[in-house]
Amino acid sequence: MANGLADGDGIGNAHVMDDFVFGGVEAPDGQALLASERKSKLGIHHQPVDPTTVQPQTPVPISVQVGPDVLVDRVAVYVSSDGRPPSGSRGVPTIGFVVECSPVETLWEPLVWGYVQVWTAEVPGLPSGTHVQYQIEGWADAGGSHWSREEKLDSWAEEACVHSYTVDPPEPPDWAVEAVVYHVFVDRFTGVEGRWLEPAEMNEFTGGTLAGVTQRLGYIEALGVTAVWLSPFFQCASYHGYDTVDYYTVDP
């Protein structure tokens, strides 16, 4: 019976084909990306707020992922809406209020070879214009506390991450309505003089840089462009930048 592997290959010897755009995990860069993905499955992580536009007086669902390396009996969200950062411990708020999470799903995660738990809660609806801040804590009755740190965004974070959203955010600025936007693919646009690369393969870096874009702003403006949209330029393993691993480091 066909199993999708090359003839004669076992699972351990299966060849992972290189994807033209996003690469293959067997390459060194792919291994770094895979390690980052594994890290995102460990500890406590907050899943994105959905919907991204929060309407007034509408409850906001909060989803939390707890990795197999963390033992928790309870998960809580500490919320503030008065401009001060939230604060609390083991379910007792000291600034703002607390919303307790409930476990809703347990999933097998092959990347870490263990079970990942999903917990959810709802933050009560608040008036238009309210800026909401919150922190997420998980703990076991007989153990210590663990906080959502979102290390994929900030690998140097030593304190619990403060998440936030604004209820009914303002409309787009007036300038955006009439804007002529030019999308610059940084690596493929241009580099500074003398640093352009000649890649052997189409999925390799060509040497385009932010400095190169800056030097060509006059050219872009002459096209009638009023706004520039840059492709991702943070540290990553690929030329396109859409597999960023550190949002606090600009890729040289």
- pLDDT top residue among 72 and 195: 72
DSSP three-state, residue 130: coil
pLDDT of residue 5: 35
What are the boundaries of each domain within the chain? 44-166, 174-250
pLDDT of residue 194: 59
Residue 213 has pLDDT above 60, yes or no: yes
- Determine phi and psi for 251, rounding to 5 degrees: -70, 125
Q: Quick one: residue 168, left, alpha or beta (phi over 0 = left, psi -120 to 50 = alpha)?
A: left
pLDDT, one tens digit per residue, over 29-67 is 567 667 777 878 888 988 777 777 899 999 999 999 999
Fold of the 44-166 domain:
Immunoglobulin-like (2.60.40)
DSSP three-state, residue 248: strand
**What's 136's DSSP letter?**
E
pLDDT of residue 131: 94
Average pLDDT of the chain, as a whole number: 81
Q: Is residue 174 within a helix (H) or strand (E), and if so which, with residue range? A: helix 174-177
Average pLDDT over residues 88-107: 96
Average pLDDT over residues 167-171: 80
> Residues 202, 4, 238, CA angle at the centre, nearest 5°?
25
